[in-house]
Amino acid sequence: MMLDIRTFKFKIFIIFLIPAISIVYFTYFYLNLSNANTEAIKYQKQNIILVHKIIDVIHNLQIERGLSVGFIQSKDPKILRQTLIITHKESDKAIADLEKFNYHLNLDLHQIYVTRKKVLQQNISFEEVLNFYTNINNHMINMTKYLLPKFDKNRYDALFLINLELLKESAGLERACVYNDLTSGKLEPICKEKLPFLQQDQTNKIENLHLYANSTSLGRYKKSIDKQEIKELQRFRKLYQQHQLTKEDAQQWFEITTNNIDSYNQVSKEILNHFTKNLNANYDDTLRNLNIAMIFWFISIFSAFYFIYIIHKLFQKHEEDTEDLELSSRALDAYEGIVITDKNTKIIKVNKGFERITGYSAEEAIGEKTSILKSGKNPASLYKAMWGSLDKTGSWSGEVLNKRKDGAIYTQRLSISSIRNKKGETKNYIGHLFDITELRKAQQEALYQASHDSLTELINRKHLLKRMREEINRSKRHGFKNAFLFLDLDNFKYVNDTFGHHIGDKLLQHVATSIQSYIRECDIVARISGDEFAIVLLDIDSSHQDVNAVVTKVTNKILTQLNHEIIIEGNSINIGLSVGVRFFPIDDLDNEDQIIKDADIAMYEAKNSGKNRFVIFQE
């Protein structure tokens, strides 16, 4: 009996000793944790200031970029030059403030000064200026992405701010492209490619702002955005699309878009101020928590019992889940990849197919989330649609770009099904994975071979007809003027007969390369058949030049180039070129077959007139 009493007392002693030790341990732990939190908040406040400075630099460089692209092609740069120099000083001041933090920015200041000098001398291309400033801005936006996620309590404000900066950058690019077009009268190729997508990109980003914004951030955004300015911006966009803006409207366009971007910038600053306010409040809370450390004694006892209860429930739930998952065990022997997760996408089982496709062994994958496979190449809209379908129908299927363990990106056909309990609650997800990378590559290669000439790598006649149909319809809608050039090599049969088909093939490749060097990237070059080529000069009246003069200039360059002696593998070859030209569209009935036929007639007229010349088809 004495042994039993001692044993009982020992147990009682242990029961009370553990809370006593716990209170000392947790008090000490809590004091250290509070101190660590204080230092962490100081670090976060420093990062907030740093992000503020980075955004100031981005904003100034966006303005500098917009003025620079207009200046380099301005015919009256005196006033704009003074404004640009003032902007340089503002940017330098913002950069100097940022450098005081001794943060490793990876900014090549020397290159900034070199680029500015070239801009002021108007000795740099539009594309160089646009890409230079855009790369710097994107680099600094990525730095804010690195810094802002540290503020977990303000996660959605951080996402809102990052998307707002991306919106500013997209608006800045639109401002620069249109401003350059208005001041120079010529839309650069890079802008012709980007501009149609920039407005839609801004619309998407504004929708993302509403997605990420809480009520406070959304209120700030709505308060700062002037609806009248937005209407004016939309009015200018419409006028620009209708080609109703002139050089005189360039400055007003720049001011309107700048006011809009300034509004976005103001919202960014208010959010950063909100971050600072929250951090200050957190700092006060941390200090106040030091005075209530003793409460941990009670919390520790309650937590211990609650923890035991939770563990019991978890084991019980785990047993239920295991029974359910046994029903799908045979499926794991399939050739395709199969992965089973819990409701939080934590991997709990994979098959050999999964290991083969992803490169992760079962031991490496189990316990991780499926996000280890994310490549970062899929749009957010894909995941939104996927989870929406899973919540609504319990299944989803589609193609995604995922990443293997070695970092390789591959195309995957993915089918996901949710497993629900009797209450309709999702318990698990089962995913079926198929690696279709090689299939997609083969399809792309087949498409390329079907549309291109294997010898010259130019598009073939079939694809040329398709492109011409598209350009005819586009020209009829917008009133563009195009020219179709039918090219036939003079004396090519003599080359084949004298030097052999191998040299003839080399000559055709040389001709294809020469032709491409004298046309714009937006124009079309094709090999129709044998020694016949085609060129489609698009929008040749866009620069307000005489279309005959444009065609004459391009054709004469090509004729001159190919009229010289050509050396191929030591053989001296002389050829000529006969060219037939047909402008289009002439009327609503114009079609690609008739255009080629008319150009062919003009080409034979050139050949019959002595060769090595061009003739424009006349009705």
Domains of the chain: 21-287 (no CATH), 327-436 (3.30.450.20), 452-616 (3.30.70.270)
Cα separation, 615 vs 598, whole angstroms: 11
Contact, 434 vs 347, CB < 8 A?
A: no
Backbone angles phi, psi at 390, to 5 degrees: -65, -40
Report the chain's C-alpha Rg in angstroms: 34
The predicted pLDDT at position 324 comes to 55
Give pLDDT, residue 328: 52
Helix axes 215-224, 250-289, angle to 10 degrees: 150
Say which DSSP state 460 is in: -
Q: Which amino acid is at 524?
A: I
End-to-end CA distance of the chain: 125
pLDDT along the chain (619 residues), means of 10: 50 58 63 70 78 86 85 74 88 84 69 88 87 87 75 69 84 85 79 82 82 74 80 87 85 87 83 78 72 57 52 53 53 71 90 87 89 88 88 88 88 88 87 81 80 90 92 88 93 90 92 90 92 92 79 91 88 91 86 92 92 88
Question: In this structure, what are the phi and psi dihedrals at residue 574, rounded to the nearest 5 degrees?
Answer: -125, 125
> What are the residue ranges of helices labelled H in 452-485?
461-478
- pLDDT at residue 599, as a whole number: 94
Other CB atoms within a 10 A radius of the CB of residue 473 amount to: 11
- Measured distance CA(586)–CA(584) in Å, rounded: 5
Overall pTM > 0.75: no
Residue closest to 19 by CA, chosen among 303, 271, 374: 303
**Residue 7: phi, psi to the nearest 5?**
-60, -40
pLDDT given at position 458: 93
Distance between CA 419 and CA 430 in Å, rounded?
8
Q: Which of 165, 187, 167, 168 is nearest to 178 (CA)?
A: 187
What confidence tens digit (pLDDT) does each residue in 39-96 have?
777 777 787 888 888 888 888 888 888 888 888 877 667 778 888 888 889 988 988 8
The torsion angle over the Cα atoms of residues 300, 306, 308 and 310, rounded to 10 degrees, is -140
DSSP state letter for 590:
-
Q: Check: CB of residue 372 under 8 Å from CB of residue 365.
A: yes
- The pairs formed by 345-354 with CB atoms below 8 angstroms and a separation of 24 or more are 345/369, 345/370, 345/371, 345/429, 348/321, 348/428, 349/325, 353/433, 354/433
Count of C-beta atoms within a 10 Å radius of residue 278: 17
Query: Distance of alpha carbon 375 from its chain centroid, rounded?
Result: 14
- Rounded to 5 degrees, φ, ψ at 255 are -65, -40
pLDDT, position 5: 47
Report the C-alpha gap between 182 and 69 in whole angstroms.
Answer: 11
Q: Is 483 helix (H, G, I), strand (E, B) or coil?
A: strand
Distance CA 122, CA 568 (A): 41
**Two tokens, residue 120:** 């002021």
For residue 186, the tally of other CB atoms under 10 A from its CB is 14
Q: What is the pLDDT of residue 315?
A: 46
Query: Which residues are registered as beta bridge partners of 527?
Result: 533
pLDDT, tens digit (0-9, with 9 covering 90-100), for 561-584: 888 888 999 899 988 899 999 999
Residue 61 CA, chain-centre distance (Å), reads 20
* Residue matched to tokens 């200031």: 49
Q: What single-letter amino acid sits at 418? A: S
